[in-house]
Chain A
Amino acid sequence: MFLEIKDLSVKIENKNILKSLNLNINKGEVHAIMGPNGSGKSTLANVLAGKEDYEILNGRINFKDNDLFDLNIEERAQEGMFLAFQYPVEIPGVNITPFLHSAINSKRKRMNEEEIDNLSFAKLLKSKASDLGINIDMLKRSVNTGFSGGEKKRYEILQMSILNPDLAILDETDSGLDIDALKIVTDGVNKLKTKDNSFLIITHYQKLLDYIKPDYVHVMVNGSIVKSGGSEIAAEIEKDGFQKFQ
């Protein structure tokens, strides 16, 4: 099993958010989690990434034969987990090029691979950026600083394509995007998809799933997955909303 979440219960500030959640993802699969606001979707993403504000009450998570709770945030990232943030934070004064260069090399170091030099990295970054329709000038700016909502999301996808993760978690990546931006972002995801990597796509709306075809759709309500199935579920939600699952 690639990612196995078993009986996971999580709380934050005395509030139970996730309740006995189970989810299995195999290599090469695309999973979508849909659910109303406050159902715990983003909490799941952050617990997977290792954010430290949460208290794990019960359950376990296995990721690529590791007990995920043995790894800290950066170790999970270096093992190939990537979270595209819902609200990417601005880091003034930190240029994207050295930032991503350090990131890719820390991953390579953990994998006992040779570090990538400045020149090769600059080439890689430029070619990935042009694939995603990102202006070279944007690479000269500080991380997320002064970016529009759409630019930030595109930037997340750029980072994802550079770091080439085994498991990419997209947390509401579609929110705040117009149709054109949504196409660019989803194109990027589709290009990246292989039989060896997996995606976990968290979304509120069905629209995103018109562009990325998931193998499985899960409905999450009140901290648990209440229904799983194929893309027909997304259509159901589009028609009737989440009401009937609650």
Chain B
Amino acid sequence: MNSETLNTLDSYSKNKYKYGFVTDIDNEKPKKGLSEDTIKFISLKKNEPSWMLDWRLKSFSKWKKMKEPKWANLSFPEIDYQDIYYYSAPKGFEKKPKDLSEVDPKLIETYNKLGIPLEEQKILAGVAVDVVFDSVSVATTYKGELEKLGIIFCSIGEAIQKHPDLIKKYLGSVIPPGDHSFSALNSAVFTDGSFVYIPEGVKCPMELSTYFRINAENTGQFERTLIIADKGSYVSYLEGCTAPKRDDNQLHAANVELIALEDAEIKYSTVQNWYPGDEDGKGGIYNFVTKRGLCAGKNSKISWTQVETGSAITWKYPSCILKGDNSIGEFYSVAITNNFQQADTGTKMTHIGKNTKSKIISKGISLGKSQNTYRGEVSFLRKADKARNYTQCDSLLVGNQCGAHTVPYIDSKNNTAVIEHEASTSKINEDQLYYCRQRGLSHEESVSLIVNGFCKQVLQELPMEFAVEAQKLVSISLEGSVG
């Protein structure tokens, strides 16, 4: 690697976080720390029925007996759960505003800075947005149109009030509260998130979208999302997030559960751009996410696509349980780490039914002094006759102080299973850079172009309007000049 390349890499490493600002909104918080009182406070604030509070308290008692999973290739100081606020709602938002004029103008301003103004949502035809600002969902659009089709798209809080039967039946059915400590924690203190129900035979006509944003200082965000696609239905869901700059580490432990019944398909896409910490590794979000989908019925399909560029720590394995015969699970991932970021991400594909298929495409890009790990587990249970998996993991190293790791586990209890695995690790190619620059492209443009090309297989899985945004984000994550 020549000196100019190193200089440019150095400037990439000093990339400033574009979305680092704090909106000054009064917050109504309980005391710091986690206790039964905290959970009761949250439940009371959200006006929940007693069965919900019981569920939370049971989860809490499980959490108290559990330890954090330690197997990931991550290092960070011990999390002090008593030094975190567990609920924060922008004041006056306990009752939902009727329209945008009732929303705090500062909030609108925040979204304007992020480039996703609420006004734009109306123009962006085909995108219904359920906005989560801290812990309370403040605006939902396109609801009427969806209601006509019988589609339910609302905050999880509202669903607990209005659709208790669906919540009781499905909440925790894919990720049991006692699965691990972060799922128990989330089950105890989750505040908001989205709920989607697509009725039998309905193809949701628009992408459903949620933007998440952590705002209040020292507030962990525990988002809970539940999506149910009934028989023969289809839905595509987009999740995107950015967070303001902050010095203290913030804990984020979301749980997302997907359930696809017979012949149903769910496509779930994420662009994750939480604050990654500064160039010295100070600050940044701790992102411990549990995402799991259940292909419950025959011929069902769940597809996860993620672009992970943010967070100081990413611990995330969107997974599929392929229970129904002929069901399909897919995982497409781009993870970019820079400076001192650490990512340990991948997927789990559990083949239970016959003729189940899974596909894993993972692209990891490491820059600066970051560490980027792909961790995957593909398992075939005894009855999973003629199941197939295809896995492709590629890592790209930019610079010589970063690390890329691949940890694929394969476990087969059925000898008719077919497993293909391809993996590669490479450094960014100097000949490619030379070629691009000889055509007149700058060094930065060239790197961005090559990395985007490297990720293309994954980016093209994103819905159109998201793909453009994601490409920009990939470039921003690499460039030093933007900020």
Interface residues of A (CB under 8 A from B): 49-53, 72-74, 77-78, 82-83, 85, 88-89, 91-94, 99-100, 102-104, 106-107, 110, 142-143, 159, 163
Contacts and interface: CB of A to CB of B under 8 A. Distances in A.
Nearest to B363: A93
B427 interface: no
B435 A94 contact: no
A83 B438 contact: yes
B441 A74 contact: yes
A89 B431 contact: yes
A92 B442 contact: no
Which of B435, B452, B455 has the most chain A CB within a 10 Å cutoff? B435
A163 B439 contact: yes
Contacts of B441: 74, 102-103, 106
B445 interface: yes
30 contacts: A50-B438, A52-B2, A53-B2, A73-B434, A74-B441, A74-B442, A82-B438, A85-B435, A85-B438, A88-B435, A89-B432, A89-B435, A91-B432, A91-B436, A91-B449, A91-B450, A91-B453, A92-B454, A93-B453, A93-B454, A93-B457, A94-B456, A99-B436, A99-B449, A102-B445, A103-B439, A103-B440, A106-B441, A106-B442, A106-B445
B4 A52 contact: yes
B32 interface: no
A74 B443 contact: yes
Contacts of B435: 85, 88-89, 91, 143
Given A53-B2, A89-B429, A77 B438 contact: yes
Interface of B: 2-4, 429, 431-432, 434-443, 445, 449-450, 452-457
B453 A94 contact: yes
A93 B442 contact: no
Q: Which label, helix, strand, loop or mixed, suits the secondary structure of the B interface?
A: helix
B4 A99 contact: no
Given A52-B2, A102-B445, A78 B456 contact: no
Nearest to B3: A52
Contacts, number: 76
A32 to B, nearest CB: 21
A91 B450 CA distance: 7
A74 B429 CA distance: 17
Nearest to B429: A89
A78 B437 CA distance: 9
B432 A100 contact: no
B453 A159 contact: no
Given A91-B450, A91-B453, A163 B440 contact: yes
B437 A77 contact: yes
Which of A49, A92, A104, A159 has the most chain B CB within a 10 Å cutoff? A92
Contact of A74 (B431, B437, B453): B437
Contacts of A102: 441, 445, 449
Nearest to B453: A93
Given A52-B3, A103-B440, 16 more contacts: A52-B2, A74-B437, A74-B441, A74-B443, A88-B435, A89-B429, A89-B432, A91-B436, A91-B449, A94-B449, A94-B452, A102-B449, A103-B439, A106-B440, A106-B445, A142-B453
Contacts of A83: 438
A99 B439 contact: yes
Nearest to A79: B440
B307 to A, nearest CB: 15
A54 to B, nearest CB: 11
Nearest to A84: B438
B457 A77 contact: no
Which of B441, B445, B457 has the most chain A CB within a 10 Å cutoff? B441
A131 B440 CA distance: 24
A78 B440 contact: yes
- In order of increasing CB-CB distance, the 8 nearest A-B pairs are A93-B453, A93-B456, A94-B453, A77-B440, A73-B437, A103-B439, A106-B440, A89-B431
A128 to B, nearest CB: 15
Which of A88, A103, A110 has the most chain B CB within a 10 Å cutoff? A103
A107 B440 contact: yes
Contacts of B439: 77, 99-100, 103, 159, 163
Contacts of B436: 91, 99
B438 A73 contact: yes
B286 to A, nearest CB: 32
A91 B434 CA distance: 11
A89 B438 CA distance: 12
B147 to A, nearest CB: 39
Nearest to A76: B438
A20 B98 CA distance: 80
